[in-house]
Amino acid sequence: MIGSDVIRRFAGQGMEPTGFPPTGTEPNMTVTIDNTIDPNGITAPEPSGSPLDAEPPTVARVEDGSRIYGSGGTEVVALDHVDVEFASGEFVAIMGPSGAGKSTLLHCLAGLDRLSSGRVFIGDRDITAAGEKELTLLRRDHLGFVFQSYNLVPTLTAAENITLPLDLAGRKPDREWLDEVIGIVGLGDRLTHRPDELSGGQQQRVAVARAMVGRPALILADEPTGNLDSRSGGEILRFLRLGVGDLGLTVVMVTHDPVAAACSDRVVFVTDGRITDELAEPDVDGVIDHMRLLGR
Ligand SMILES: Nc1ncnc2c1ncn2[C@@H]1O[C@H](COP(=O)(O)OP(=O)(O)O)[C@@H](O)[C@H]1O
Ligand SMILES: [Mg+2]
């Protein structure tokens, strides 16, 4: 499945406006793994020590967002008048039962799917009606992605996978940043190995580094620990946490796991397409209690 087509998609090509918004099929998530150093704007801000910086800027928001699939008797309301925003430097977990609309929310934030009504902003930019080209560049330059299934290119080494988004965009890696990112995921001598020579946990570390390498404004992670044992999953969470704390990145992560959610700064609970609750500074017991309260 992964081959030259994916590589073309990495380069931001091969995405036609036809078939968008998707009609009855999942968006092709392979298009989303490209991200590069930002040339001009909505990127992860440098940490600023000014006491005048009160509120961190919003990196993404959905205003009164609804997404309805199908029509008539087969209508599915995946998002139902959602209002949510994510501040720069936040690590937010999205939780909710299967089918609640979590992935739809991520897809709409990434411009991979379109709201039926409402608006989506990345930074100050209203992307609700943006064209395909603009969305492709937005994903490439401002967003990072981590998937449950790693989505690495099997013929490339770990190091090549990490820098592939930059290479294909014709950008030179910022050496210092790259070293920091590689330091965080701690792959050491594994960098010269190909994905089939790496464990699942190691592959996901490569994927996390790839998502961070372009210093994106926002990293979207859909069940990044879903395929991993608890130890490897814990490592991935630690790297995401370090990315937020040490590198100033912003992460929005869908998860089923209360332990994973407890690593975040804030948990947003989604039920039947609606945001039904939020929990700041979560701990595992608090998350489990909230899930119980919500009847899950
Ligand atoms: N492309 C699609 N076409 C039709 N229905 C969809 C599509 N994508 C998602 N859905 C439906 O929307 C609802 C929310 O799905 P999803 O966002 O994937 O949930 P979650 O990620 O929380 O499990 C589900 O009922 C799902 O079946
Ligand atoms: Mg999902």
Q: Tens digits of per-residue pLDDT, 56-99?
A: 899 999 999 999 999 988 999 999 999 999 999 999 999 999 99
Where do the domains of the chain lie? 89-111+142-293
pLDDT of residue 116: 98
Q: Which of the listed residues 25, 66, 76 should we mutate to test ligand 1's pocket, taking the one with most ligand atoms within 8 A of CB?
A: 76
Tokens 């800027």 sit at which residue? 57
Q: What percent of the chain has pLDDT over 70?
A: 81
Average pLDDT score over residue span 88-111? 97
Query: Over the range 134-161, which residues count as b (16 or more CB within 10 Å of their CB) and which as e?
Result: ebbbbbbbbbbbbbbebbbbeebbbbbb
CATH fold of 89-111+142-293 reads: Rossmann fold (3.40.50)
Give the number of C-alpha atoms closer than 13 A to the C-alpha of residue 60, restricted to the C-beta side: 30
Q: Which residue's CA is minimally distant from atom 24 of ligand 1? A: 99
Query: Counting beta carbons within 10 angstroms of the beta carbon of residue 241, is it exposed (0 to 12), middle (13 to 18) or buried (19 or more)?
Result: middle
Side chain identity at residue 208, one-letter code: V
Task: Name, in order, each residue with C-beta under 8 angstroms of 228's C-beta and a sequence gap of 6 or more.
Answer: 200, 201, 204, 236
pTM: 0.84
pLDDT of residue 198: 96
Q: Give the number of whichever ligand sits closest to the CA of residue 101.
A: 1
Cα–ligand 1 centroid distance for 26 (angstroms): 8
- Give residues (CB < 6 A) around ligand 1: 22, 24-26, 69-70, 76, 78, 96, 98-104
pLDDT of residue 265: 98
pLDDT tens-place string over residues 138-170? 999 999 999 999 999 999 999 999 999 898 888
**Residue 39 pLDDT greater than 80, yes or no:** no
